[in-house]
Chains A and B, each alone.
Chain A
Amino acid sequence: MTKYILMRSFQVLPVLLGVTFLVFLSLYLLPGDVTLNLLGLAANEDSIARLRAELGLDRPFSVQFGIWLGRALQGDLGVSHVMRTPVTAVVLEKTGNSLILMGAGLAITVVGAALLGPLSAVRKDRATDHTVKTLTFLLASMPAYWLGLVLIVAFSITLPWLPASGMYDFITPGGLPDLTAHLFLPALTTAATSLAIVTRVTRAAMVEALARSHVTAARSRGVRGFRLLYGHGVRAILPTFVNICGLQIGYLFGSSIFTEVIFSWPGIGQQLYTSIIARDGPMVQGCVLAVALVFVLGNLLADILIRWLDVHRD
């Protein structure tokens, strides 16, 4: 088990290296850099050259990437060209905010799918099943930038129940209850697609599991209802469930960019968007690294959990 964890962790490194290299390369190849944004009308051949030299943008690609990588390995992601502030601090803070959103989305996904999936499977081809199937179909078809707006109109404007933007109310900030209220709509929006996918997969796996011989055997022994479902069915589908949920971690984190822009959630997606527009190289690198890290670690965690479940199954 330890050997497996070590090996899988080791495999994460080339992925991260590849991602950072590709992002660095595409930023390098993009027309335009940050200097014109910063200099505005003061831009002339001389001032552009000076600023490029100061920011290290005049060096060859390999040198720029080498320096960045060397520092990154020591936890220093450089200084934002636009904000003049250390990237690491901003990225950590924004990642934290995004993790809060992602965590809430994941919780909705896991709990929702764990309830709806098996329920739908047990009631296969009956009204409950059809309702769940229709619901998941709808959820999977609604893009975040549409669902988000509809939820805002419904629950923030028509029914003024929940706030629609940011993490806290700036006029009267109110701690955790305030955060929870602000979290509700964006978390729901983020979770919609994942909830649909996980519910569908869980339902399918459960239908299959319930048809297996050991479940039939249990049923013939008189095991019924929840004992049958959770005692036999759930154990069989647990690895599938964990695997698909693990995949959602990366998906939820990556797709939060839409939700964050719609709800002005100060997370990594929003930061990435702003930084790309401003051509803020170090900030884009830092944000992408954070997203990649969460993605890869999420999958790693799921893999280890599945392996662990596998080992301890019998």
Chain B
Amino acid sequence: MKPIFKALTLAAALAASTALPALAQDKTIVMGIEGEPLALDPHTQALWLTARVVSNMYEGLVMQDLTKPGTKAPDVVPALAESWTISDDGLTYTFKLRGGVTFHDGEPWNAAAAVFNFDRIMNREAPQFYEKAFQQNTWWRQDVASYRAVDDMTFEIVLNTTNAEFLLRMGQGGIGSTWMASPKALAAVPNDDFATTPVGTGPFKFVERVFGEKIELAANKDYWNPARTPQYDRLIYRPMVDVSSREQALETGAIDIAATPTPDNTDYLESQGFKIVTGQLPTVYVIWLNLREEAMKDARVRKAISMALDREGLAEDLRLGQAIPAYGILNVGGPGYDEGYTCNGYDPEGARALLAEAGYADGLEIKMIWTPGGAGDVNMVADAEWFQRNLAEVGITASIEVMDIGSFFTMMNQGMQPGSSLLEISWGENTFNWLDAVLATSALPPNGYNSGYYENPVVDDLLVKARTSATKEEMVGNLHEIRDIICEEATFIPTHSPLGVVATSAAIGNFVLAPQHWPDMAIVTKD
């Protein structure tokens, strides 16, 4: 209905029913989020904001247990597969599918549905093949040799290489996913339109999306897992770009949950009776150095920059405890993350000495490229100013050039220009996806985000080895080797890992921020 007429119709409806009986109160949770999610298609999803919504409606063969906060990777637990076996060579995965599960449209979940979804993503011959899905899922698709329905409830995937993380990938989302959609619903609309009519098996069903206003979901009371069957009726996401309007809407009761309040306001909100929930995000902010710049070719200068940065101070004083320092390139909640790892830590004296040794006793001028960020982080430019002060103390004069996020990614994809010394952005989930897109020679501009022109054949080999490791231990060993090489060279400088922060009303319970980009909304309660 055109809203110009909406008001009129409402007026008419109101006049016709002035004595309307109060509607039966259903329990609704409204969450104010930082922006508008993109297309709600599980196979082409992009942006964590999108995953937050999509993850309520869809699920994969396995999923992560998001009920515990911390820095450890969440456990992989059964979802649409009840159990699985992995062949001794580590190449064949046989999934025993969960019986009695239906999609939101009543269609049965079975091996044929799994094949239909995989065909949509990677079988060019299939009528439902979707080019965008093919592109968005390279990160797991590249390891898959074949897949088939063994019988009605058994699905088999054969890999062309071992991969210790493959199981996790069958539950992972955010950038494409193998989350399962109803074959009937998929076949009913053109691929591009499926995002407007999502049908999955998850604990919430799609109701309605009004762009710029809301995305409304309803609890799936027939969900297969009683422990995750929502104890409320409706879940509404409201895109609210402005952080203060999210906080005010929470205060006035228009929303129950506000994503990412400003760090300065969390004390105030708590004093007003609101709850502040924090949890480590699975990301790490890392500085890319432009290795084509003369000064940055010198490892002493790179180390000096790392040693100039007061990461503890940034985490405690600037980010008010809503971040922890980071020294290694492996992200929180990912394979091989080690909370106690340090490398080239804060040492202004040492930094000055290294700079003098490298011939920059009289100072050095650099340019830092920064972005205020997309949704989800409140004040990234303040980080740049913090580092600028740190660098000034060791004799490095840094100027800051700020770009909006769109221009920033374009610049990263094209590589840093001459005159630009470094940039910072976060990476994290999925660890391998990122490392391949950032460290590898194959990711040099314009083929990825190796924007500082890093080339090391040893690291290239290790990346492949780590990704295709047969065991978890072997994989972690390879990742640690990469981490230590990068630390020794100081070619990338990790700085900090941010905390996710959410403010909720007192009535909201069991809201947990596990180290993943989306919370489990099915377990949340409202009094």
Binds A, one of B131-139, B165-173, B302-310, B355-363: B131-139
Inter-chain CA distance A156–B251, complex, in Å, is: 9
Q: Is B486 an interface residue when CB atoms closer than 8 A count as contact?
A: no
Interface residue SS majority, chain A:
helix
Q: Does the CB pair B212–A270 fall under 8 Å?
A: yes
Binds A, one of B56-64, B218-226, B241-249, B488-496: B241-249
Instruction: Tell me the chain A residues, 169-210 only, with Cβ under 8 Å from chain B.
Output: 169-172, 175-177, 179
Q: How many contacts A-B (CB < 8 Å)?
A: 179
Q: Does the CB pair A97–B3 fall under 8 Å?
A: yes
Q: Is B76 an interface residue when CB atoms closer than 8 A count as contact?
A: no
Residue of A nearest to B193 (CB): A84
Inter-chain CA distance A152–B47, complex, in Å, is: 31
Q: Does the CB pair A93–B3 fall under 8 Å?
A: yes
Among B14, B213, B255, B446, residue most surrounded by chain A Cβ atoms (within 10 Å): B213
Min C-beta distance of A245 to chain B, whole Å = 21
Residue of A nearest to B44 (CB): A38
Among B212, B251, B437, residue most surrounded by chain A Cβ atoms (within 10 Å): B212
Contact pattern, B 96-136, Cβ under 8 Å of A = 1, otherwise 0: 00000000000000000000000000000000000110011
Contact pattern, A 254-285, Cβ under 8 Å of B = 1, otherwise 0: 00000001111010001101100111000000
Inter-chain CA distance A39–B44, complex, in Å, is: 9
Instruction: Tell me the chain B residues, 207-233 only, with Cβ under 8 Å from chain A.
Output: 210-214
Binds B, one of A25-33, A118-126, A135-143, A214-222: A25-33
Min C-beta distance of B157 to chain A, whole Å = 21
Q: Does the CB pair A171–B28 fall under 8 Å?
A: yes
Binds A, one of B30-38, B340-348, B386-394: B30-38
Inter-chain CA distance A80–B135, complex, in Å, is: 20
Given contacts A41-B437, A176-B11, A264-B249, contact A84 B195 (CB under 8 A): yes
Min C-beta distance of B262 to chain A, whole Å = 13
Q: Does the CB pair A166–B410 fall under 8 Å?
A: no
Q: Is A223 an interface residue when CB atoms closer than 8 A count as contact?
A: no
Chain A contacts of B407 at CB under 8 A?
30-32
Binds B, one of A44-52, A58-66, A68-76: A44-52
Inter-chain CA distance A287–B138, complex, in Å, is: 35
Given contacts A41-B175, A170-B236, contact A261 B10 (CB under 8 A): no
Q: Does the CB pair B2–A93 fall under 8 Å?
A: yes
Min C-beta distance of A3 to chain B, whole Å = 30
Q: Does the CB pair A85–B214 fall under 8 Å?
A: no
Chain A contacts of B214 at CB under 8 A?
170
Inter-chain CA distance A270–B210, complex, in Å, is: 13
Q: Does the CB pair B30–A278 fall under 8 Å?
A: no
Inter-chain CA distance A50–B242, complex, in Å, is: 34
Residue of A nearest to B174 (CB): A40
Given contacts A38-B38, A40-B175, A262-B242, contact A277 B406 (CB under 8 A): yes
Q: Is B339 an interface residue when CB atoms closer than 8 A count as contact?
A: no
Given contacts A96-B2, A170-B30, contact A84 B192 (CB under 8 A): yes
Q: Does the CB pair B131–A50 fall under 8 Å?
A: yes
A positions within 8 Å CB-CB of B: 30-34, 36-45, 47-48, 50-51, 54, 82-85, 90, 92-94, 96-97, 99-100, 149, 152-153, 156-157, 160, 163-167, 169-172, 175-177, 179, 261-264, 266, 270-271, 273-274, 277-279
Can you sample 14 A-B contacts with CB below 8 Å?
A32-B411, A41-B433, A42-B137, A50-B135, A82-B38, A94-B211, A164-B248, A164-B249, A170-B254, A176-B10, A179-B7, A266-B213, A274-B212, A274-B239
B positions within 8 Å CB-CB of A: 2-4, 6-7, 10-11, 13-14, 23, 25, 28, 30, 32, 35-36, 38-39, 46-47, 131-132, 135-139, 175-176, 192-193, 195-196, 210-214, 236, 238-242, 244-245, 248-249, 251-252, 254-255, 374, 404-411, 413, 433-434, 437, 446-449
